[in-house]
Chain A
Amino acid sequence: MLIVHIPQSPVLEQRAKISHSWLDHEIAMVDADLAVARWTSRKWPDIGTRWQSLHRIAEDFADMLDQFSASGLVDRRMEFRTLAPATATALKQALDLLHSSHMDAAAVRKEYLGRLARLWTASRAFFARVGDQDCTEPVVRSSWQDVRVAGAAMKLLFSDGTIPAGIVLP
């Protein structure tokens, strides 16, 4: 089984936004000191707006988890254009069946959505606290830690291969 990166694959582009742009750059790489610095310079409200958009992308991604199957290449790649429609359909169905033996998309979706929900709960709590006028630095640190723990749990699904790093070739 090979996992390959196919440019212009919507599922991989969305995966990148969640795993890399959000979980890596916006959470894992932001330590408590930086979180506090952003709080003192009032940067979190703008970031919160961006996270709303990232959260929507992450929710939509749950419905894309079956797109890691190589069957999507049949419609997209010119190599298959000479196939008759019925043959192309048969090929896609066979590839989807092969893929389902490697990845249980429904089970992955359930686990993913659970971790996303925990991250979003922690995030909302964090943004509520940093937006509170009575917020203190220890509260920022502790609340941010909750976000990082939830983010790390979600990131694990991407780093351990539960959510593939590319299109899965059977």
Chain B
Amino acid sequence: MKKIFFDYSSRPHEPDVNGWAIFKQTSLAPLLPALQKGYSPPPGEVTIVVSHHMYDGAEGAHLQDVAEKATQAEGAFFFVYASRTDPAALRDRCKPAHGVFACHAEKLPQNYIALLQGQVNSNFGEAIAAINSIPSTMSVLQQAQAVRRILDKINGSVEDDEKFYSAIAMLLVRKALKSGKIEADQKHALKTWMGNRSDGCDTDAQIEEKLLNRFR
């Protein structure tokens, strides 16, 4: 399995870590062939690329093209976009069906060396550790399936989303009520809304825990 990590920090170039080849983000040469139409990934090989930079528009289409060609060549190409600064567009822009995944930046610590060694207590750290532990004796198809299962997890689930937004909704209503800016009749309506919810009796600490849990 070919594992590539694009480093977006200002630290000096690092040697390979745990089988991950590290390239400076500004040095796109290793990825450029993959971004050019007509490129065919090596047959029967699994390639995974982690980058902070999402390739917009045409470049994004190239990535999907590469992923599709890799599949046709009985291999697999996965691109993981790990963004600290603009995860808002992740779900829109990343297409797991085409091998392009997203990772919330909060799961990606500055110390990526520890991350690549699988020592970080986060979903993404666990994913890296899981990828690192995929036996090379597995068939290409099995390796690709294993990577996909792992990456599907870091994208998060709909259930996680519902818990997260439910906690946000509760937090907002509580803060608004405490602000003293709500008229009595509307205050009553909001309290009724809270009372009708299963999480209506959650403490502030429980709500905060649910919010923070998304980033663990």
Query: A residues touching B (Cβ–Cβ < 8 Å)?
Result: 2, 4-9, 12-13, 15-17, 19-21, 24-25, 29, 34, 70, 73-74, 77, 79-80, 82-84, 86-87, 90-91, 93-95, 97-98, 158, 165-166, 169-170
Q: Provided the pairs A16-B89, A70-B172, A165-B85 are in contact, do residues A4 and B25 lie with their beta carbons within 8 angstroms?
A: no
| Contact residues in B for A95 (Cβ distance below 8 Å) | 172, 175-176
| Contact residues in A for B190 (Cβ distance below 8 Å) | 83, 87, 90-91
Q: Provided the pairs A90-B182, A91-B182 are in contact, do residues A13 and B169 lie with their beta carbons within 8 angstroms?
A: no
| Contact residues in B for A74 (Cβ distance below 8 Å) | 172
Task: Report Cα–Cα, A80/B171, bound state, in Å.
Answer: 12
Q: Are A8 and B92 in contact (CB-based, < 8 A)?
A: yes
Task: Report Cα–Cα, A95/B87, bound state, in Å.
Answer: 24
B49 touches A (CB below 8 Å) = no
Q: Provided the pairs A2-B211, A98-B175, A169-B171 are in contact, do residues A79 and B88 lie with their beta carbons within 8 angstroms?
A: no
| Contact residues in B for A170 (Cβ distance below 8 Å) | 172, 175, 179
B39 touches A (CB below 8 Å) = no
| Contact residues in A for B186 (Cβ distance below 8 Å) | 86-87, 90-91
Total number of B residues with any Cβ neighbor in A under 8 Å: 34
| Contact residues in B for A9 (Cβ distance below 8 Å) | 88
Query: B residues touching A (Cβ–Cβ < 8 Å)?
Result: 25-26, 53, 56, 83, 85-92, 104, 165-166, 168-169, 171-173, 175-176, 179, 181-183, 186, 189-190, 193, 196, 208, 211
Output the nearest chain A residue to B26 by Cβ-Cβ distance: A29
- 26 A-B residue pairs with Cβ-Cβ distance under 8 Å, sorted by A, are A5-B88, A9-B88, A13-B88, A15-B88, A16-B86, A16-B88, A20-B85, A21-B56, A24-B85, A29-B26, A70-B168, A70-B172, A73-B168, A79-B165, A80-B169, A90-B176, A90-B186, A91-B176, A91-B186, A94-B182, A98-B176, A98-B179, A165-B85, A169-B175, A170-B175, A170-B179
CB proximity of A21 to chain B, nearest CB, Å: 7
| Contact residues in B for A90 (Cβ distance below 8 Å) | 176, 182-183, 186, 190
Output the nearest chain B residue to A83 by Cβ-Cβ distance: B193
Q: Are A87 and B90 in contact (CB-based, < 8 A)?
A: no
Kindly identify which residue among B86, B169, B171, B193 contacts A15, using a CB–CB cutoff of 8 Å. B86
| Contact residues in A for B176 (Cβ distance below 8 Å) | 90-91, 94-95, 98
Output the nearest chain B residue to A19 by Cβ-Cβ distance: B85
| Contact residues in B for A83 (Cβ distance below 8 Å) | 189-190, 193
Name A's interface SS: helix
Q: Provided the pairs A79-B169, A87-B186 are in contact, do residues A12 and B179 lie with their beta carbons within 8 angstroms?
A: no
Given contacts A29-B26, A86-B189, list 15 more A-B pairs with CB under 8 A. Answer: A4-B211, A8-B92, A13-B86, A29-B25, A34-B26, A77-B168, A77-B169, A80-B169, A82-B193, A87-B186, A87-B190, A91-B176, A98-B181, A166-B88, A169-B211
| Contact residues in B for A84 (Cβ distance below 8 Å) | 189
CB proximity of B134 to chain A, nearest CB, Å: 29
Output the nearest chain A residue to B171 by Cβ-Cβ distance: A169
Q: Provided the pairs A87-B190, A91-B176, A91-B182 are in contact, do residues A5 and B168 lie with their beta carbons within 8 angstroms?
A: no
Q: Provided the pairs A29-B26, A79-B166 are in contact, do residues A91 and B172 lie with their beta carbons within 8 angstroms?
A: yes
Q: Are A8 and B179 in contact (CB-based, < 8 A)?
A: no
Task: Report Cα–Cα, A86/B85, bound state, in Å.
Answer: 35
Output the nearest chain B residue to A9 by Cβ-Cβ distance: B88
Output the nearest chain B residue to A8 by Cβ-Cβ distance: B92
Q: Are B172 and A169 in contact (CB-based, < 8 A)?
A: yes
Kindly identify which residue among A5, A19, A79, A97 contacts B87, using a CB–CB cutoff of 8 Å. A5
Kindly identify which residue among B53, B104, B171, B173 contacts A25, using a CB–CB cutoff of 8 Å. B53
